[in-house]
Amino acid sequence: MAARSLGIVADDLSGAAECAAHTLLRVSRSEVVLADASAAGEPGAVTTPRHAAVVTVDTDSRRLPADQAVRAVRAAAAFVADAPVVVKKVDSLLRGHVAAEVGALAQVLQRTPVVAVANPALDRVVRDGVLHVAGTPLHDTDLWAVEPTAAPTRVSEALHPLPTVLVPHTVIALGVDAVADALAAAGQSGLVAVCDAVTEADLEVVHAAATRSGSPSLLVGSGALAAVAVRALPRSFDTARDAGPGTPPAPYALRSVLLVLGTRATGAAAQIAQIRSIASATVLLQPGELLADPTGTAAGLAALPTDAAVVVALDPAAPADPSRSRALTEALADAVAPLLDGYDAAFLSGGETARAVLDRLGVRSLEVVAEIETGTVVSRRPGGRLVVTRPGSFGDSGSLVRVATYLLPGSSPTAQTRPVATSATTNAANAPSAPSATTEENP
């Protein structure tokens, strides 16, 4: 029986899958356990092989009320408690119940958290305790436009009421010894250290300092910090791991893929515009009509083609109501879940959307295959069908096209010779009362 070496607890599925994909650098098989948040704290709420050397658990708690999120994290803690290093994966834009979940995990594990939320590969860095995205402070961007509250102005604000102290970049730049001293001083004072980081090397320094003493540690950060923790595992950790780090499998030769975009991120419109060039159908759902009748929407979607790439997305031009975002996720999952078994693969954008859809199909775990782009992870459902997950805020305008062409060779935009020819209103069984959606099909 292998000793537990690393535990990862993520608050949404796309983040958990991203972290599990990183573990393929050191292990030959990686799974994400889909914890049952509705049964958090009850026997069997989280099931995962206790012999696994690396465990990744999705608590599905970002979309829950804070008290339920805490219960879900406490339940998951039992399955990582024996790992010397635990990473609490949080959203790289600081969404969700960051303070409540970090506090709950720290309390159960009896460890002082060390926080480094930067994800330099995505140009999300922390300077002077402020998270910057592409050079702009998070609170000055529109990346929280569909959230019910304003973005935190500092990382420490996202952690409130936990007591924090900043470890500035001037200290990080001095190296492991200086950072280790700063972390020790913070721990002795009962403070949570919030570390600046602008490069991957900075995250490596934080990790090395936090784990230097050999005492059990709790790291809090994005998928980038989880990747650092994985790389720190010995290269002989799993002798069955013989593939190169990060090497994806050869492109698949599938016949169909359903792309579902539950995200309202600002980049979604550009992604949809490009994927239309190769999609056999594109449906933009109106949030109000979907909320009014998800069953009717599902009936209308049942008429979609099941060949090539088919896109179902929330209309990015429709008004967003942050107070109804959870209800919208649930309604979208109700509408699209019945479709998945008709396609060889499904792309699910937005961790909450992905988890809600898979819950309706009774999926309790995913076998992670590869990360094909940052945060874009290919996994297998029980039974073999593929699921590709990605955080809603990830991906440039061409990212959906790259996913589709990876799964469906020959579906590149250059191979498309005929433009979208028709535009129609699709509704359930052609009933006038059914919710409508704009559909475009390629002949």
DSSP letter string over 65-100? -HHHHHHHHHHHHTTTTT-SEEEEE--TT--SSHHH
pLDDT tens digits in sequence order for the chain, 443 residues long: 356 789 999 999 999 999 999 998 888 888 898 987 555 444 344 455 555 788 899 999 998 899 999 999 999 998 899 999 999 999 999 999 999 999 999 999 999 999 999 999 999 999 999 999 999 999 999 999 878 899 999 999 999 999 999 999 999 999 999 999 999 999 999 999 999 999 999 999 999 999 998 899 999 999 999 999 999 998 755 645 544 444 455 567 799 999 999 887 778 899 999 999 899 999 999 999 999 998 899 999 999 999 999 999 999 999 878 788 889 999 999 999 999 999 999 999 988 999 999 999 999 999 999 888 888 999 999 988 999 999 888 889 999 999 999 999 766 554 332 222 222 333 322 222 333 455 554 43
* C-alpha to C-alpha distance for 20 and 276, rounded to whole angstroms: 31
Which CATH architecture describes the domain 6-231? 3-Layer(aba) Sandwich (3.40)
**Nearest-5° angle of CA 396, CA 398, CA 402?**
115
What's the rounded Cα separation, in Å, for the pair 220 and 192?
A: 10
Non-local CB neighbours of 184 within 8 Å, separated by 6+ positions:
none
Closest CA to 302 of 257, 262, 346, 339: 339
Q: Return the amino acid letter for 420.
A: V
Helices 268-275 & 399-407 angle (0-180, nearest 10): 40
Sign of CA dihedral 157, 158, 159, 161: positive
In this prediction the pTM is 0.80
pLDDT at 314: 93
Q: DSSP code of 2? A: P
**pLDDT reported for residue 265:** 77
Domain 256-441 belongs in CATH node 2.40.10.340: no
Question: Distance (Å, rounded) from C-alpha 270 to C-alpha 282?
Answer: 14
**Residue 421: what pLDDT?**
25
Residue 267 three-state SS: coil
Domain boundaries of the chain, sorted by first residue? 6-231, 256-441
The label of the residue with tokens 């803690």 reads: 77
Are 6-231 and 256-441 the same fold in CATH? Answer: no
DSSP β-ladder status, 30-34 and 130-133: unpaired
Tokens of 7: 């535990």
- List the helix and strand counts (H, then E) for the chain: 14, 20
CA dist 153 and 135 (Å) reads 14
In degrees and rounded to multiples of 5, residue 393 shows phi and psi of -85, 0
Q: What is the pLDDT of residue 240?
A: 52
Q: How far are the Cα atoms of 97, 220, 284 from residue 351, in angstroms, in the given order?
A: 15, 19, 19
Q: What 3-state DSSP class applies to 134?
A: coil
